[in-house]
Structure 1
Amino acid sequence: MSRFPLLLNICLGLLCVTQPVQAQDSLDDFAARVPLKVEGNGPWYRVDLPMSLHFLARHADLRDLRIFNAEGEPLAYALARGESQVTRSEQELELKWFPLRGPADTSLGAPRVRVERSTTGTVVEVLPEDPAASGERLRGWLLDASGMKAPLEKLVIDWSEEGEGFQQFTIEASDDLQSWQSWGTGQIARLSFGNDHIYQREVTLPGHKARYLRLLWLDREAPLLTEARVTGARQESSPAPMVWSDPLPAGSPAAGEYSWDLPLPLPVESLKFSLEQANTLAPVRLQARSNDTAQWQALTSGLLYRLPKDGKEVLHDRLELDGWMPVQHLKMSVDQRAGGFGAKAPTLQVGMRALQLVFLARGTPPYTLAVGKPGAASAELPLTTLVPGYGPGSLAKMGSAQPDGDLRLAEAKAVVVAEEKGSALAWKRIGLWAVLLLGVGLLVLMALSLLKGQSKGG
């Protein structure tokens, strides 16, 4: 019986030898790679990933993407998805102001005035409807903001020295000096005590456009203005950046039908077709599937055209997608009644939301971008983990890195190396499993021999 522990240890040792070891990624494991040229301040660098990299990857989510240093060590990285950008531009405008005089009794409403404007809408003169009212109380001011094209966000005014204390007034806006919209009330203040002074000259506006403002003071005569200006801001949104593939030639499985194949299922968001001939009009329907065995599903439909209009050529060659469906195979049907694309089949460019890779440089450059390892597990970190204190504007402060060459040119050599390494590893595993099975077989034979010996002895 003392032989059983020895045999058991032998088998366990063989089993441990054959267990796959989670080794560190090696550059030779990846089918395509390209060195990177870094610029700017580190240690974090960002890389714009081209569409060719997505085509060479083995997984649509880029789990097989890695960055290596010259020592062959994989580096920490994160992926940043391109988002739409909102830019804000501020504008400040000095205003012209005109006095509004009227009865002291505010219950009679706003002063009735006659306004003279230039052909551009700029106020030239404001006169009371009743000349006899010119000596009455100064009720407020008319401000000409017609030169401001952005929505109004802030009003700054200054007034004569005798206007001490808090002052409240109503704010109204108009584009035609006929109908007025209330924008609430504003308050300004000038307080003095000894050599100390407190000024409140700014009034917040609701952020709407208006050509004219009317300020009417409450419970007191308006002060004499010495300055009036407004600040406006305009926000413009730009779409998220896209990356595009090279033109893909079409297959023609039938008349009026075209097809395209991608190397793997990708979350495509836009399709761009070549319209070679002028006066092209093509109503189209597209179907897609995510692999060779899946059913075709309706993807989108639309009208592609290249037509003259008002002496210019108008081109509509794109169809937008939601990006929710991974697409590998595309099939397009064209309504031939409109003439189709002519004799030459259209090419297709697929577009996706741009991705940036951010990596933490360590070790010796050059750094190498690698992709294309079957069965790889993701090594991506959250961006906030990779860059402590990450926030808006952090990406812009990082250095940049650019591929120093063509990723596709590096593919062929790397594929051979990866296949040779994979083949050698496969033979090693086969040999180890053969040793394990042989050991298990010997263990069974020895156990049977011992059992037979015990039965005979009994």
Structure 2
Amino acid sequence: MTSPKLRALCLLPVLGLTVAAAGWLRQWPVTLSEPDAGAYRIELTEPVYHTAVNPDLRDVTVVDVDGQPVPTMVFDVDAPVASKAERIEMPWFVLPNGAQFPSQQIRVISQQSSEGRVLRLEAREGVSPSHAAESWLVDASALRSAVTALHLSLAADAQVEARFRVEGSDDLASWRLLTTDANVLQLARGGRVLSQLRIPLDNAARYLRLTQTSGDAVPVAAIFAETTPAAKVRSPDSRDFSPSVVAADRRSFEFLVDGLQPFDQADVVLPGNSAVTWRLESRDNAESPWQLRAGPWAQYRIGDTQRSRAQLLVPIRQRYWRLVSDVAVVETPKLRLSWLPEVLVFVASGKPPYRLVAGSAQQLRQDAPIADLLADIRGERGVGWQPASARIEGPGEMSDPAALSAPRDWKNYALWGVLLLAALVVVGFAVSLLRANAARDDKDQDAPTGGG
């Protein structure tokens, strides 16, 4: 079901963005993974970076079937890509009523697996767990993801209001406080149930101890852990570029890059074994001065396994790059630039189907408040929520070949028109005055001269 915030944002007027199908160099049909998700994310492909001309990618957006832009914003690859939360039923053990764990009254671990899982927990002789226990031990040692919350499962007819404290431990010896005062509620009436059985955690631990601090006995039937799996580490994309200019002394190699990717790693590729000290520079255009981006660093390769690491860069979009060495380099190097593709998030307002458009000297995207929207929805649905996926494929279709032409400045044209009109009026007045003066002189010359 679409969130009210998504519906509200869909209705926001996007002022100043009356974009027709024209005005964009290329377009890509957008394929949605879910028809009614409301918000979607698209990973930008290399052809999009090749088409864009604006340094901030503001000439990349999404339009509906009528060419009208929809609320859109571009994010770094990891910003809106939180993994979906999962609920996993956990093994749990009842602790004696009021006991603090570990305690001399409790045989701490009766049986434990090699992975650290608690297999059985027993009380010493003379101590039996109370039916209305106030404490539970939850074994989360088998999980490979951090526990962000616990969910209690109670009997369907239970009427409960209680408060809990949660502590965590990694060794069952030392404990730290994770949640001080969590409220648990379940009320049933007339076939309807009102419940709040989620206990958020401020930190993670292998073992969790729930202690009831107030309220009636809680008939726990099961305990679930809410986990957010670690985001998959995406391998960066990369391309090798051959030099466009080689200096006569073979100490300088210039490269022209055909894209606006956010390059964050650079490396030098040379055939065979090598050991060279390099500096890497870049600039915005052919007239700007070169700026140092990395180095000097020693690039080397010995065999197929021993080689230097790539140089980390502050992400930068520039088309002009240069490698400079202190000595002449016989073999011609290639420049390997790597990047993590960014993610475009849009709200599916307007009429489908949608298209991603890019490349324009006339149209610029105005970012919608997508970041605030994502934060609000995650506050309601949990940190694991993310927009549904969408995708584009291929090199795209040509949309408007004139999209990269500079837009006409009609204000300047109007100003020059006004100035020209004023000049013509002045000239008209001058001609009129000259004619009037000439007619007056002719009249004076033709007038009869009086005699005496």
The two structures share one fold, judged by TM-score above 0.5: yes
The equivalent of 2:174 in structure 1 is 179
Name the structure 2 match of 1:285: 279
Contact 1:79 1:355 in 2 (8 A): no
- Alignment match of 1:81 (pick from 69, 74, 82): 74
Point out the structure with the larger helix share.
1
**Structure-2 change in CA distance of 1:454 and 1:321 (3 Å):** farther
Map 1:150-169 to 2 at 5 A: 150-152=145-147, 153-156=149-152, 158=154
Give deviations 1:420-444, integer Å, cap 9, x for gaps: xx9xxxxxxxxxx999999987875
Matched, 1:345 2:333: yes
For residues 80 and 306 of structure 1, do their structure 2 counterparts lie closer, same or farther at Cα, with a shift above 3 Å needed?
A: farther
> What is the deviation of 1:86?
1.8
| Higher share of residues assigned strand | 1
- Larger mean CA deviation between 282-291 and 165-174 belongs to 165-174
Aligned to 2:199: 204
The answer to whether the Cα contact below 8 Å between 1:257 and 1:333 also exists between their aligned partners in 2 is yes
d(CA) in 2 for partners of 1:247, 1:185: 57
Look up the match of 2:255. 260
SS of the residue 2:172 aligns to: coil
Q: Distance in 1 between matches of 2:43 and 2:186?
A: 57
Q: What residue number does 1:454 align with? A: 440
Matches within 5 A, 1:42-191: 60=55, 80-83=73-76, 84=78, 85-100=81-96, 111-116=105-110, 117-129=112-124, 131=125, 133-134=126-127, 140-152=135-147, 153-156=149-152, 158=154, 170-184=165-179
- Asked if structure 2 preserves the Cα contact closer than 8 Å seen for 1:159 and 1:224, the reply is no
Q: What is residue 9 of structure 2 aligned with on the other side?
A: none
Is 1:331 aligned with 2:327? no
Alpha carbons of 1:181 and 1:241: their partners in 2 closer, same or farther (altered >3 Å)?
closer
User: Which one-letter code corresponds to 1:91 in the other structure?
Assistant: R
After TM superposition, give the deviation of residue 150 of structure 1 in Å. Answer: 3.0
2:313 aligned with 1:320: yes
Question: Which amino acid in structure 2 is aligned with residue 154 of structure 1?
Answer: L
Number of residue pairs the alignment of both structures matches: 397
When the two chains are superposed, the root-mean-square deviation of aligned CA atoms in Å is 6.4
Q: Do structure 1's residue 230 and structure 2's residue 216 form an aligned pair?
A: no
Give the one of 282, 288, 292 matched to 1:298. 292
| Residues 1:226 and 1:50: Cα distance change in structure 2 (over 3 Å) | closer
Counterpart residue identity of residue 249, structure 1 = P
1:150, 1:299 → 2: CA distance? 37
Helix, strand or coil for the counterpart of 1:81? strand
Query: Structure 1 residues 36 and 361, CA, compared in 2 at 3 Å: closer, same or farther?
Result: farther
After superposition, what is the alpha-carbon deviation per residue over 1:278-306, rounded to whole angstroms, capped at 9, x for unaligned? Answer: 65555532223333443332223356566
Letter in 1 for 2:321: L
Structure 1: tracts of 5 or more residues without a match: 1-23, 386-390, 423-432
Give the direction of change, closer, same or farther, for the CA distance of 1:401–1:288 in structure 2 (3 Å limit).
closer
Query: Is contact 1:46-1:401 (8 Å) kept?
Result: no
2:47 and 2:210 map into 1 onto residues whose CA distance is: 61
Pair 1:287–1:135, CA change in 2 (3 A): closer
Post-superposition CA distance 1:74-118 (Å, at most 9, x none) = 76577632433222331312324254378x9x8x97744342312
CA drift at 1:345: 1.9
Aligned-partner SS, 1:149:
coil
- Preserved CA contact (<8 Å) 2:146 2:229: no
Amino acid at match of 1:202: L
Mapped contact 2:41–2:387 kept (Cα < 8 A):
no
Superposed CA offset, 1:290-345 (max 9, x none): 33443332223356566679xx677844643243xx63432222466xxx986132
Higher Cα radius of gyration? 1
Q: In the alignment, residue 437 of structure 2 is paired with which amino acid?
A: L
Q: Which runs of 5+ in 2 are unaligned?
A: 1-17, 371-375, 379-385, 409-418, 445-452
Give the TM-score taking structure 1 as reference length. Answer: 0.58
Go from structure 1 to structure 2 and tell me whether the alpha carbon gap of 1:248 and 1:66 turns closer, same or farther (over 3 Å shift): farther
Partner AA of 1:209 in structure 2: A
Contact 1:145 1:211 in 2 (8 A): yes
Is the 8 Å Cα contact of residues 269 and 333 (structure 2) preserved in structure 1?
A: no
- Counterpart code for 2:439: G
Alpha carbons 2:282, 2:291 under 8 Å: kept: yes
- Cα distance in structure 2, aligned partners of 1:238 and 1:304: 30
1:333 counterpart letter in structure 2: V
Check conservation: 1:150, 1:209, Cα contact below 8 A: no
Q: Classify the secondary structure of the residue corresponding to 1:453.
A: helix
Deviation at 1:229, TM superposition (A): 1.4
Contact 1:275–1:341 under 8 Å retained in 2: no
Q: In structure 2, what residue type is equivalent to 1:89? A: A
TM-score (norm 2): 0.58
* CA–CA distance in structure 2, aligned partners of residues 39 and 134 of structure 1: 63
User: SS state of the match for residue 113, structure 1?
Assistant: strand
